[in-house]
């Protein structure tokens, strides 16, 4: 049924979530599709015991060239399961090339974050088309350049991408080259986003578009206050370095920080930054990451598009 629901996506997208755990009636099972390859996560004892069965069924239906297991996630420890990853069937190349909204990316499903790419941001990446033309863009926590490459594709004058991971930055540069963008149009830096935002503010550097897409700052309620402080700091700094009329795309994938709490944090940040803020759009994850009305945990991603006056 999960595959049947996504038939439209199968013909249009190279990368998407094929099975989304409880939201598809298969608790603790996640399967992502990257072209002819599948990545599987079995996050509970029941699915772990049946992972070879699931792999066999997926092979019969989709005939993938390879299935890779990415069970190197902390949540498995809660179930008493080990952390591991490896080949389940077929062969997996070092990098898979996908096309998303006419833009190409290299994806490392063996070692990349999550299952290789943030496919839950697919639709949100595409919204930069409305704000990128001739813009000076800053992409914070850029990973392998998702939002950055979109901004270049849609005509940005210059893009700066920042991430703490050296491997991510290397792949971001390769993704820019894959799409034939010239070096003078972009720079990808290995740096701490908190420090770089302070430096931009101190130097008086201004941007037309800033993207904040950080990793989760908290996975438990006990660290919620510290997470809010972190979100507030990066958003406050981003607001201060945006030109009047500039746009901030700010995201949170922390389930424990709901939309209203996230908006409350943004109100505090805008007050401290002394900037008026208009909400242009409020978004979440795409249709291949369905939300169950009865399951709050299935709604985790917040993406707000803000005009900073």
Catalytic machinery residues: 253
Element of type H or E holding 301: none
**CA separation (Å) from 79 to 42, 48, 234?**
11, 10, 34
Render 106-139 in DSSP notation, one character per residue: EE-TTTSSTTSS-GGGHHHHGGGGGT-TT-EEEE
Q: How far apart are CA 173 and CA 179, in angstroms?
A: 10
3-state SS string over 164-222? CCHHHHHHHHHHHHHCCCCHHHEEEEECCHHHHHHHHHHHCCCEEEEEECCCCCCCCHH
Measured torsion, CA atoms of residues 248, 154, 244, 233, in degrees rounded to the nearest 10 = 20
Measured distance CA(36)–CA(202) in Å, rounded: 47
Tokens of 278: 């208009």
Distances (CA, A) of 218 to 64, 115, 214, 279: 35, 20, 11, 25
At 83, is the secondary structure helix, strand, or coil?
Answer: coil
How many Å apart are CA 158 and CA 163, to the nearest integer?
17
The candidate with the shortest Cα–Cα distance to 81, out of 93, 69, 97, 89, is 69
* Residue 155: count of CB within 10 angstroms of its CB: 12
159 contacts 151 by C-beta, under 8 angstroms: yes
């Amino acid at each position: 049924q999960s595959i049947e629901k996504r038939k439209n996506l199968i013909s249009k997208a190279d990368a998407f979530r094929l099975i989304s755990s409880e939201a598809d009636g298969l608790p603790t099972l996640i399967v992502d599709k990257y072209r002819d390859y599948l990545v599987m996560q079995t996050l509970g004892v029941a699915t772990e015991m049946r992972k070879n069965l699931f792999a066999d069924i997926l092979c019969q239906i989709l005939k993938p060239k390879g299935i890779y297991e990415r069970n190197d996630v902390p949540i498995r420890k809660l179930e008493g399961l080990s952390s591991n990853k490896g080949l389940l069937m077929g062969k997996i190349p070092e990098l898979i090339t996908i096309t998303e909204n006419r833009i190409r990316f290299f994806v490392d499903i063996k070692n990349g974050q999550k299952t290789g790419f943030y496919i839950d941001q697919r639709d949100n990446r595409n919204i930069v088309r409305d704000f990128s033309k001739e813009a000076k863009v800053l992409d914070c926590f850029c990973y392998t350049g998702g939002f950055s490459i979109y901004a270049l594709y849609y005509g940005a004058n210059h893009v700066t991408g920042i991430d703490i991971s050296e491997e991510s930055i290397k792949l971001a540069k390769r993704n820019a080259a894959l799409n034939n963008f010239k070096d003078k149009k972009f720079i990808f830096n290995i740096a701490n986003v908190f420090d770089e935002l302070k430096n931009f503010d101190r130097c008086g550097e201004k941007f037309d578009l800033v993207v904040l897409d950080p990793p989760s700052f908290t996975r438990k309620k006990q660290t919620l206050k510290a997470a809010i402080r972190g979100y507030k700091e990066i958003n406050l700094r981003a607001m201060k370095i945006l030109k009047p009329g500039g746009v901030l795309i700010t995201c949170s994938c922390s389930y424990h920080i709901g939309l209203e709490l996230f908006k409350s944090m943004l109100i505090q940040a805008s007050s401290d930054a002394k900037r008026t803020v208009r909400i242009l759009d409020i978004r979440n994850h795409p249709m291949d990451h369905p939300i169950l009305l009865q399951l709050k945990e299935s709604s985790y991603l917040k993406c707000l598009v803000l005009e900073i006056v």
